Each structure stands twice: as structure tokens, then as C-alpha cells.
């Protein structure tokens, strides 16, 4: 099974894709409609996993990034954000680990409140989606959860475990890029 087959097995047929116009990056972004719910679009990088990323203790991993939002948000702007974020990852050559926060900075896309991302396991999908075993090392799917500044600061101050407990208690709409903060 290829990586794209693995992704399509969970998300259905690829709807649209983007890459940098000048071909300067090996990464593309694919869009899948109505996944994991009706009215939600899931974006997945393709090609990031061609590069081995460093982890602590000299380990390496392959990763692809997953981002989900309501279809009311601009697909082109989200794809652009993901392509730029992949360039950041490639420049660092560091894997995203569970609980890592990148940001806060400018809004992820224009006219939204979220300005950070949190790396997590893609629990909104079937468990088999989280790891593609057809590569060596395996390719891990990393769910980029969009965060507000207060949430990013909370994770940095209190750790990812407490933040995930907070998410479980509050059950915020993580597909809404203009949602209220989960931090009291």
C-alpha cells in the first residue's frame, strides 16, 4: 500500500492539491472533503515524509501533517499555511513531537483568531490512520490543532497532558478557527 492509498483509505478520494508554484519544495498539500465530519475539510501534506526528521536520542522519523477546519475557511490560504509550515519543519529538520507548540505568531491564515499549532495524534480519525507502516521508519501522521495565544501559553506553562485533559473536559470545536479559548 502506498502512502496516498493509506490516506485515501481513511479520508476518501483526494479532492484537490497544491504545491509551491516554483516547485521549490518537495511537499504538496492534499484536500479531502467531508472528513472527519460533514462540512469539514481535512488537509494532509504529501512529501514531507520523504525527509527523515530528527528526534531526541538520535532517533529519526517520517511525518506528514494533518489539519482540519470547516469548509468555510479558505482552502488556498490553509494550503499556503501548510506549505510554509512544512518549509519551517524542513529548515529545522526536527520532528514535531506530541505536545509541541509552534507559536503564537500571526494568525495562521488571514482573518482568523488562531495563531499557533499544537502537535497531536490524529484522534479524530480511525486509529489505523495515525501510522503508515509502508515506509522505514514508519510515517507518523501529526494532527496540527489550531490554538489561540492563551492556549499556546497554557501548554507551554503546564504541559501537554494538562492541556489534553482540558480539551477532554471542554470538548471545544477544534475545526472552528475563530473559536473562544478553552483556557479559563
Residues 90-135 pLDDT 10s: 999 999 999 999 999 999 999 999 999 999 999 999 999 999 999 9
pLDDT at 28 over 90: yes
Nearest to 11 by CA among 141, 117, 111: 141
Contact in structure between 88 and 102 (CB atoms under 8 Å): yes
Contact in structure between 115 and 134 (CB atoms under 8 Å): no
Distance CA 36, CA 33 (A): 8
Query: What whole-number percentage of the chain has pLDDT above 90?
Result: 93
The predicted structure's pLDDT at residue 58 = 94
- Structural domain harbouring 154: 3-170
pTM, two decimals, is 0.95
Is the backbone peptide bond immediately before 113 cis, with ω within 30 degrees of 0?
A: no
- Containing 17, the helix (H) or strand (E) segment is strand 16-19
Distance CA 182, CA 42 (A): 22
For 25-29, 78-82, 87-91, which range has the lowest pLDDT when averaged over its residues?
25-29
Taking all residues of the chain, what is their mean pLDDT, rounded to a whole number?
95
Specify if 180 maps to a domain: no
pLDDT at 159 over 90: yes
For 18-22, 29-33, 36-40, which range has the lowest pLDDT when averaged over its residues?
18-22
Distance CA 71, CA 176 (A): 10
For the chain, how many structural domains are there in total?
1
The predicted structure's pLDDT at residue 184 = 79
Residues 15-27 pLDDT 10s: 988 887 666 678 9
Specify if 44 maps to a domain: yes
Contact in structure between 42 and 13 (CB atoms under 8 Å): no
The predicted structure's pLDDT at residue 143 = 98
Specify if 14 maps to a domain: yes
Average pLDDT estimate for 50-66: 96
Extended strands (E) in the chain? 16-19, 28-33, 40-46, 53-54, 60-70, 101-102, 116-120, 131-132, 139-147
Specify if 175 maps to a domain: no
Look at 163 and 23; give whichever has higher pLDDT: 163
Nearest to 113 by CA among 164, 176, 40: 176
Average pLDDT estimate for 20-38: 85
Instruction: Indicate the pLDDT class of residue 71, thresholds 50, 70 and 90.
Output: very high
Amino acid at each position: 500500500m502506498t502512502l496516498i492509498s493509506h490516506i485515501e483509505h481513511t479520508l476518501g478520494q483526494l479532492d484537490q492539491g497544491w504545491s509551491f508554484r516554483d516547485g521549490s519544495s518537495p511537499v504538496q498539500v492534499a484536500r479531502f472533503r467531508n472528513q472527519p465530519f460533514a462540512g469539514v475539510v481535512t488537509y494532509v501534506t504529501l512529501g514531507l515524509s520523504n525527509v527523515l526528521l530528527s528526534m531526541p536520542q538520535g532517533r529519526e522519523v517520517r511525518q506528514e501533517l494533518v489539519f482540519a477546519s470547516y469548509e468555510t475557511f479558505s482552502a488556498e490560504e490553509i494550503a499556503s499555511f501548510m506549505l510554509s509550515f512544512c518549509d519551517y519543519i524542513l529548515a529545522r529538520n526536527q520532528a514535531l513531537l506530541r505536545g509541541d507548540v509552534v507559536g503564537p505568531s500571526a494568525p495562521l491564515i488571514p482573518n482568523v483568531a488562531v495563531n499557533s499549532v499544537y502537535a497531536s495524534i490524529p484522534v479524530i480519525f480511525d486509529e489505523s490512520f495515525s501510522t503508515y507502516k509502508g515506509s522505514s521508519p514508519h510515517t507518523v501522521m501529526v494532527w496540527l490543532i489550531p490554538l489561540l495565544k492563551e492556549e499556546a501559553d497554557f501548554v507551554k506553562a503546564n504541559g501537554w497532558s494538562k492541556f489534553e485533559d482540558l480539551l477532554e473536559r471542554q470538548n471545544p470545536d477544534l475545526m472552528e478557527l475563530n473559536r473562544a479559548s478553552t483556557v479559563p
